[in-house]
Structure 1
Amino acid sequence: MSDLPMHIPVIDFSQCGLQEPEEGLQTESLIKVGQQIKDAFSTVGFCYLKNHGIDQQLVDKYMAVSRKFFELSVEEKMKHVRGVERNYGWVAVEREKLNPERPGDLKEAFNFHPGDDPDDWPDVEFQQASKDMYQRCTELSYRVCDALSVGLGLGKSFIRDAHSLVGKKECQTTLRSLYYPPIPDQSPLKPGQIRAGEHSDYGSLTLLFQDDIGGLEVNIPGTGYVPATPIPGTVVVNIGDLMQRWTSDKLLATKHRVVIPETEMGKQKCRQSVAFFVHPDDEYMIKCLDGSDKYEPISSLDYLKYRFSVTY
């Protein structure tokens, strides 16, 4: 495990990645990698995984078909706007405030949840790429859950078992394509406005695939905000508030943000990323694993509803 870049560990996941058959995973590998992941999440809250097993061609394809959608007219995108009843569809620029003290975020998004798929997509290619990406991210997140579970001294399947309904209506795990449009030359920005305000994620784990543009910054405890520089072929993994709560603050849901490039040339480039937000099953009760009752037990869905009420 390397301490670069800038204190965010890079962990070799090759022995636990999707290139290895599930039945072939070695307990020693899970122990070794699980300890590294636990150490990263207890000090930084973030890590990079290399050799994770998701084909870069799939990531690139999903970003490409997503971008085709984001480049459509607002009128066309409005036909697929995300409503309150379904976790599917387009979210417009400035619709969200991840930091409620800042103006709306300068980003667009498209959410996909298989249980909320209306089968009314802008094109079939986008739908299929979303399904493929969701499936592979589900498989990888389960491997990360298993390693972390072992690293925490729990049974191998303990954390995975709390996420048994991923892809079903009864679990809010969501694939999100994020698009940060170019900022026109001399475009007036609202005071304090950035591409994504400071926030911690809501659920248990997040997988994040970045393009090569950069802009993500992570608030490392004791250090301050540092760039999460894109590393080709890696996935950024961090934990969310429910995992911090579950572990009685032993693991850290670190705040992060996406800033606006300082140069005019940088501002004229769009940025893309893909986030897979992993949540426990809706009715799963999050109770402190150490029995401390530091936090009151709460269901996964009730906690998510609370966080959404602040964001929108």
Structure 2
Amino acid sequence: MQDKAKSDLKESFLWGCEYEKEHLIDNHPLRGINIWPEFQPNLKTAAMKYFNYADKLARNLMRGFALGLNLESNFFLKTCDNPLSRASLVYYPNQPSELGDDQYGVSAHTDFGVLTVLCQDDVGGLQIQDINGEWFHAPPIKDTIIVNVADLLSRWTAGEYKSTPHRVVNNSGLERLSIVLAFDPNPETMIDPKDIFGKNFQANEEPITCGDYLVWRFGKAFSYRK
């Protein structure tokens, strides 16, 4: 939400890798101990099961993205032993028509990090923007997973893989649920297209670490709270 935009009409529960306190040695601001609600004793087991499966899928996809650029399959995974990945359960209530056409479950955006893996229910509401700027519905397809290239992968590959603008408009009359994994490598991972295309490549942006980039993007996105 920026300027006069309406707040997104959703609720989220977020969690990340499961750490013991003594293992949080880097004190990175995007890392912490997961806080699990006591009134849902089975949530942790189910949530971490999804997290681990989605993480495995994301890593396999990253190997495919590397091979697509004629790189070694583990190029994007060299520093992923202590990742900044996080997951979220997202609830979207139905949007009453009186809220107007400028109300969204999630307003138009591209994801911040490297890769997003998303499972959605059968309610629908996800919309994707094509290269001509037109929005179209992405109806749920049973037993499928949605994969979004995110901004950091686009930056890393100098636009060879482009991040996907998307939004959610839930006017179905039903409640919508999704479960998401945002896959990101270790905070110290250097994002530099020259590592892919050679030292003489003219990149449009300066190299930056994954951690610094994500802190900057989150700070920018939530600057209205200051």
* TM-score bracket for the superposition, by shorter chain length: 0.7 to 0.9
Aligned to 1:198: 108
Alignment partners' CA distance in 2, 1:208 and 1:238: 8
Following TM superposition, by how much is the alpha carbon of 1:181 offset from its aligned partner in structure 2, in angstroms? Answer: 1.6
SS of 2:42's partner is helix
Query: For residue 178 of structure 1, what is the amino acid of its counterpart?
Result: V
Aligned to 1:122: 39
Which protein has greater RCO, CA pairs closer than 8 Å, 6+ apart?
A: 2
Query: CA separation of 1:120/1:232 partners in 2, compared to 1, >3 Å: closer, same or farther?
Result: closer
SS of 2:179's partner is strand
Return 206-215 or 190-199, whichever deviates more.
190-199
User: Is structure 2 residue 48 aligned with structure 1 residue 131?
Assistant: yes
As a proportion of its length, which structure holds more helix?
1
Following TM superposition, by how much is the alpha carbon of 1:203 offset from its aligned partner in structure 2, in angstroms? Answer: 0.7
Query: For residue 124 of structure 2, what is the amino acid of its counterpart?
Result: G
CA deviation map 1:189-208 (0-9, x unaligned): 26722111000001111001
Query: CA separation of 1:147/1:270 partners in 2, compared to 1, >3 Å: closer, same or farther?
Result: same
User: Would the aligned equivalents of 2:124 and 2:170 in 1 still touch at CA under 8 Å?
Assistant: no
CA deviation map 1:61-91 (0-9, x unaligned): xxxxxxxxxxxxxxxxxxxxxxxxxxxxxxx
Unaligned stretches of 5+ residues in structure 2: 20-32
User: Would the aligned equivalents of 1:203 and 1:280 in 2 still touch at CA under 8 Å?
Assistant: no
**Selected match of 1:243 from 150, 153, 166:** 153
Q: Normalising by the residue count of structure 1, what TM-score does the alignment of the two structures yield?
A: 0.61
Following TM superposition, by how much is the alpha carbon of 1:243 offset from its aligned partner in structure 2, in angstroms? Answer: 0.5
The count of corresponding residues between Structure 1 and Structure 2 is: 203
User: Would the aligned equivalents of 1:172 and 1:281 in 2 still touch at CA under 8 Å?
Assistant: yes
**Selected match of 2:180 from 255, 261, 275:** 275
Following TM superposition, by how much is the alpha carbon of 1:155 offset from its aligned partner in structure 2, in angstroms? Answer: 0.2
Alignment partners' CA distance in 2, 1:231 and 1:297: 38
**Selected match of 2:130 from 213, 216, 220:** 220
> CA RMSD for the aligned pairs?
1.8
Query: CA separation of 1:101/1:217 partners in 2, compared to 1, >3 Å: closer, same or farther?
Result: farther
**Selected match of 1:260 from 166, 170, 174:** 170
Q: 4+ residue stretches of structure 1 with deviation over 4 A?
A: none
Unaligned stretches of 5+ residues in structure 1: 1-96, 166-170
Instruction: Report 1:1-312 matches (<5 A).
Output: 97=1, 102-113=5-16, 114-115=18-19, 116-118=33-35, 121-165=38-82, 171-183=83-95, 188-189=98-99, 192-222=102-132, 224-261=134-171, 266=172, 268-288=173-193, 289-290=196-197, 291-312=201-222
Query: CA separation of 1:126/1:227 partners in 2, compared to 1, >3 Å: closer, same or farther?
Result: same
